[in-house]
Copies of this chain bind each other. A is one copy, B any other.
Amino acid sequence: MPSIGIVTPQSMHFAEPLALQSGAQIADYTLMYETYGTLNADRSNAVLVCHALNASHHVAGHYADNPKNVGWWDNMVGPGKPLDTDKFFVIGVNNLGSCFGSTGPMHVNPSTGKPYGAAFPVVTVEDWVAAQARLADKLGIEQFACVMGGSLGGMQALAWSIMYPDRLRHCMVIASTPKLSAQNIAFNDVARQAILTDPDFYNGDFYAHGVVPKRGLRVARMIGHITYLSNDDMAEKFGRKLRNAAETNEYAFGFGIDFEIESYLRYQGDKFSEYFDANTYLLITKALDYFDPARPYDGDLTRALAGTKAKFMLVSFTTDWRFSPERSREIVQALVNNRRSVTYAEIDAPHGHDAFLLEDSRYMNMVRAYYARIAGELQ
């Protein structure tokens, strides 16, 4: 399947302050975004793709000066792909507070002339969606054919359906949940504590000290990574294989690397700590923790979704223990209670939470079929 090829990120500045759920506001901000495909004449074929934890606006294709920097959902979005850019105008947008170009903690706070750091306000899924809606306004898109996302991106899609029911015809929520469990929050908080207690964090103002809290970020990423993979998948890929299996195949009796899984996780942690911003990590985990659209309705998700108008597609993966199928079924049930149109697929995939990013023909074919249906409605 060909990729969409070379793409170019764009930026949009917003001079009007954005009021946030916390009561704070951002005076002005910039959002990075990319678009793929062509907006049709009646502006009815736009699809918004919302990103998860460590992703960005760079959903598909690659950059002219960096062919290896391929978009995070390139297997999903492109010509002839499940979300077919020959038929749809696709927008990837980087969220507020991120470290990939949109205004975030490492940018200058206009009120102090120094990087925001700890002063960057806590943002929520709903704040991100409000900012995305303004981007849609500026791009002249009144109504999306679909808003889609996986994991935290799925939360944004769900929030769109609640906040702007008339602005999307379809909503695709993949490997997501209506709210984090205590265990989900626990993992997030340990990751945050690793960052917050790193002496190089300096209460979020490490930029001024010329250091980066790499130790904390590294541990945070290692913890997160364990929850993205399934137990079975880890067992199959790594098992108890020693890194020196081809040589001595003996235990090292020290605290270096014995097992392949250690090597893999430390590598993932190291790599992440090289490019990700610690304040962004904190912000994003908080957005995850806070997401709970049923909260204003005493926990009643059916009431929370009563005002939605979109048609929904949900997908979950059997071995995802971060956001298990049960969590998707809660959303499906609440939508059914509201007599919404819902398509739901539970994919028997071994790859845990990460499955939503991976090639799996049953999964991809489900999404492809659903977009074919949406494309049919465009005629």
Contacts and interface: CB of A to CB of B under 8 A. Distances in A.
Interface of A: 21-24, 121-122, 179-183, 185-187, 189-190, 192-194, 196-199, 215, 218-219, 222-223, 226, 229, 231, 234-235, 237-240, 251, 253-255, 258-259, 261-262, 265-266, 269, 282, 286, 289-290, 292
15 contacts: A179-B240, A180-B240, A181-B235, A181-B240, A185-B262, A186-B234, A186-B261, A186-B262, A189-B266, A193-B219, A193-B222, A197-B218, A199-B199, A258-B289, A259-B289
A261 B222 contact: no
B251 A290 contact: yes
A106 to B, nearest CB: 17
Given A199-B199, A251-B290, A259 B185 contact: yes
B231 A183 contact: yes
Number of copies: 2
A285 B151 CA distance: 32
4 nearest A-B residue pairs (beta carbon) = A22-B253, A182-B234, A182-B238, A197-B215
A336 B282 CA distance: 50
A247 to B, nearest CB: 16
Contact of A226 (B190, B259, B265, B290): B190
Given A197-B215, A197-B218, A259 B182 contact: yes
Contact of A197 (B219, B235, B290): B219
A327 to B, nearest CB: 11
Nearest to A219: B194
Given A261-B189, A266-B193, A182 B235 contact: yes
B265 A186 contact: yes
Given A255-B286, A262-B185, A190 B238 contact: no
A253 B199 CA distance: 23
A169 to B, nearest CB: 32
Q: Which of A21, A223, A289, A290 has the most CB of B within 10 A?
A: A223
A261 to B, nearest CB: 4
A265 B190 contact: yes
A277 to B, nearest CB: 14
Contacts of A122: 253-254
Contact of A185 (B21, B186, B197, B261): B261
A234 B183 contact: yes
A182 B237 CA distance: 9
A231 B327 CA distance: 13
Given A180-B240, A234-B183, A282-B255, A194 B194 contact: yes
A185 to B, nearest CB: 5
A61 to B, nearest CB: 33
Contact of A262 (B189, B259, B266): B189
Contacts of A269: 193
A187 B182 CA distance: 18
A331 to B, nearest CB: 16
Given A22-B253, A189-B265, A253-B286, 10 more contacts: A22-B251, A122-B254, A182-B234, A182-B235, A183-B229, A185-B261, A187-B226, A189-B222, A190-B219, A197-B218
Contacts of A179: 240
Nearest to A236: B182
A222 B289 CA distance: 17
B231 A181 contact: yes
B183 A235 contact: yes
Contacts of A265: 186, 189-190
Given A189-B265, A189-B266, A215-B197, A226 B289 contact: no
